[in-house]
Amino acid sequence: MKPSSSRFPDNAAAALANPRLRAALDTLPGGLVAQRRAAVAAVPEFEALREAARAIRDATLDDLASHLEAFETKAISMGSKVHWASDASEACRIVLDICRAARARLVVKGKSMVSEEIGLNAHLEAEGLEVVESDLGEYIIQKRGETPSHIIAPAIHLTEADVAADFRAYHTHLPADRRLDTPQSLVAEARNVLRQKFLAADVGITGANFLVAETGSSIIVTNEGNGDLAQTLPRVHIVVATIDKVVPTLTEAMTLLRVLARSATGQDMTAYTTLATGPRRPGDLDGPEQSHIVLIDNGRSEMLASDMRDALRCIRCGACMNHCPVYNAIGGHAYGWVYPGPIGAVLTPSLLGIVETSHLPNASTFCGSCETVCPVKIPLVSLMRTWRERAKQQRLETWPARALSKLWISTATRPALYHLLARVAVAIGGALGRRKGRFSSLPFARGWLAHRELPAPQGRTFQQLWRETERGVPR
């Protein structure tokens, strides 16, 4: 997908002006946020689990190459074919080649963020394949021609009423007077439509929440069971996953799953947790004839060697965005690429470069909520701050902002001058603002004043009063 992160302010303005989007986002605090809170409260050792999860991810990243090799060896021995892709176009080409070799025409997909990242659907469709998303949220946005606005709830920007209206428009072969007023009825309808696709599909593509080196398996978690069908029914199964997804052992994967589900949806365990280990074996009742795993780098090894390494711990639970006041206000599309919210503000500059994406790490209040909920304790605020430093070094801010901050530092590092200037400014501001106690308009601070008043200074600085009264309380 073509990034629009450089137009973040316009994207955000459009989002803020969209009442339907705001209504959809208003469900977050009482939904995913409240569910996580309840789930975490029910596990007294949750903090210890977070620490364990962080340690597992860190230790794996410390020795990523050997864990990947171990995974590859085991996966091959279980009958999978392992492919390595250094970037998006190579990954797309590999997948296309597999589809062609299998003479495939119809591909069903489970939810996969990396396939969004590499633009897989568009690539396959351009080559004449039919690609059908089978996750309900992904199915809806694919039909709408949109991209996901959240990493675990791709259609969270839509209300149930939006989806019902869409289904009536798309599924014209169904009776017009059918009821579509509950989430269940929507899921049931999508299921029926998709069932035909599952049965007819030649290739199933899924992502992976984890790749287990010990067993050579990929693990996916879903709540709809669509991923299972996508990886068992078609003749060919392709896993697309970035190289940071590997976990050494099943036991460690289980620890990660415990924090993942609770952080993501507040479930103890997602409804389906499915391991895929190679193709169908003699005597198996189902399963694909071929199993392929495409391991994608696409910027990860560069991140691993950089000061953004901590961001690779991410297990894509979405908690950081659910708890982000900025995400809650504008939703995911405004961020302009695949990964929104705080993790997006760190990942997107890492993967696309800071020049076009410098708004993202800057558009944060640094409230720190994301860090307190992240199950693998990624220091998201510090990482965003590092990107702000990069942006500054590359002179990506506007010249007035740069001049002002220089002026501030050169004054504030000269205390005598600073206090003198402060007195003058405060005396003027105090005199002008005395009657109302605030300003409604000024020749500066336009952003601030667009939505709120600026409280006026009391007229003298604290330093001045303190010196005048020789410590103590005047009046």
Question: Restricting to residues 341-360, which ones interact with ligand SF4 according to CB under 6 A?
Answer: 343
Pick one of 100, 307, 389, 403: the residue that binds another protein (CB under 8 A).
Answer: 389
Pick one of 318, 331, 340, 349: the residue that binds ligand SF4 (CB under 6 A).
Answer: 318
285 binds, among another protein, ligand SF4, none (CB under 5 to 8 A by kind): none
463 lies in the site for another protein, by CB under 8 A: yes
475 binds, among ligand SF4, another protein, none (CB under 5 to 8 A by kind): another protein
CA 294 → CA 92, 207, 208, distances in Å? 10, 10, 10
392 lies in the site for another protein, by CB under 8 A: yes
CA 161 → CA 166, 170, 183, 194, distances in Å? 9, 14, 10, 20
Pick one of 120, 319, 324, 426: the residue that binds ligand SF4 (CB under 6 A).
Answer: 319
- The answer to whether 258 and 312 have CB atoms below 8 angstroms apart is no
Least distance from another protein to the Cβ atom of residue 412, Å: 4
CA 373 → CA 21, 258, 263, 322, distances in Å? 24, 14, 7, 10
CA atoms within 13 A on the CB side of 208: 28
- The answer to whether 25 and 15 have CB atoms below 8 angstroms apart is no
369 lies in the site for another protein, by CB under 8 A: yes
375 binds, among ligand SF4, another protein, none (CB under 5 to 8 A by kind): ligand SF4
* Distance from chain centroid for Cα 58: 20
Which listed range, 40-48, 106-114, 277-285, 310-318, lies at the site for ligand SF4 (CB under 6 A)?
Answer: 310-318
Question: How far apart are alpha carbons 290 and 281 in whole angstroms?
Answer: 10
378 binds, among another protein, ligand SF4, none (CB under 5 to 8 A by kind): ligand SF4
19 lies in the site for another protein, by CB under 8 A: no
465 lies in the site for another protein, by CB under 8 A: yes
Query: Token pair 């007229």 is at which residue?
Result: 459
183 binds, among another protein, ligand SF4, none (CB under 5 to 8 A by kind): none
419 lies in the site for another protein, by CB under 8 A: yes
Cβ-based nearer residue to ligand SF4, 120 or 374: 374
Question: How far apart are alpha carbons 208 and 294 in whole angstroms?
Answer: 10
Query: Of 287-346, which residues contact another protein (CB under 8 A)?
Result: 325-326, 328-330
Cβ-based nearer residue to ligand SF4, 102 or 343: 343
Question: How far apart are alpha carbons 368 and 382 in whole angstroms?
Answer: 10
Least distance from another protein to the Cβ atom of residue 460, Å: 6
Cβ-based nearer residue to ligand SF4, 374 or 384: 374
- The answer to whether 340 and 315 have CB atoms below 8 angstroms apart is no
Cβ-based nearer residue to another protein, 185 or 411: 411
318 binds, among another protein, ligand SF4, none (CB under 5 to 8 A by kind): ligand SF4
The count of chain residues that interact with ligand SF4, using the rule CB under 6 A, is: 14
Write out the two tokens for 284: 């198996």
Cβ-based nearer residue to another protein, 305 or 416: 416
Question: How far apart are alpha carbons 198 and 189 in whole angstroms?
Answer: 14
456 lies in the site for another protein, by CB under 8 A: yes
* Distance from chain centroid for Cα 292: 26
Helix (H) or strand (E) holding 222: strand 217-222
369 binds, among another protein, ligand SF4, none (CB under 5 to 8 A by kind): another protein
Query: Of 359-398, which residues contact ligand SF4 (CB under 6 A)?
Result: 373-376, 378
The count of chain residues that interact with another protein, using the rule CB under 8 A, is: 72
| Closest listed residue to residue 238, CA positions, set 104, 359, 379, 332 | 104
331 lies in the site for ligand SF4, by CB under 6 A: no
Question: How far apart are alpha carbons 65 and 246 in whole angstroms?
Answer: 10
413 lies in the site for another protein, by CB under 8 A: yes
Least distance from another protein to the Cβ atom of residue 332, Å: 14
259 lies in the site for ligand SF4, by CB under 6 A: no
| Closest listed residue to residue 205, CA positions, set 109, 288, 120 | 109
Long-range contacts of 47-53 (CB under 8 A, 24+ apart): 49/255, 49/258, 49/259, 49/375, 50/259, 50/374, 50/375, 50/376, 50/377, 51/377, 52/255, 53/255, 53/256, 53/259, 53/315, 53/375, 53/376, 53/377
445 lies in the site for another protein, by CB under 8 A: yes
114 lies in the site for ligand SF4, by CB under 6 A: no
Write out the two tokens for 362: 């800057």
Pick one of 33, 61, 108, 317: the residue that binds ligand SF4 (CB under 6 A).
Answer: 317
Write out the two tokens for 97: 């080649």
Residue ranges binding ligand SF4 (CB under 6 A)? 263, 314-320, 343, 373-376, 378
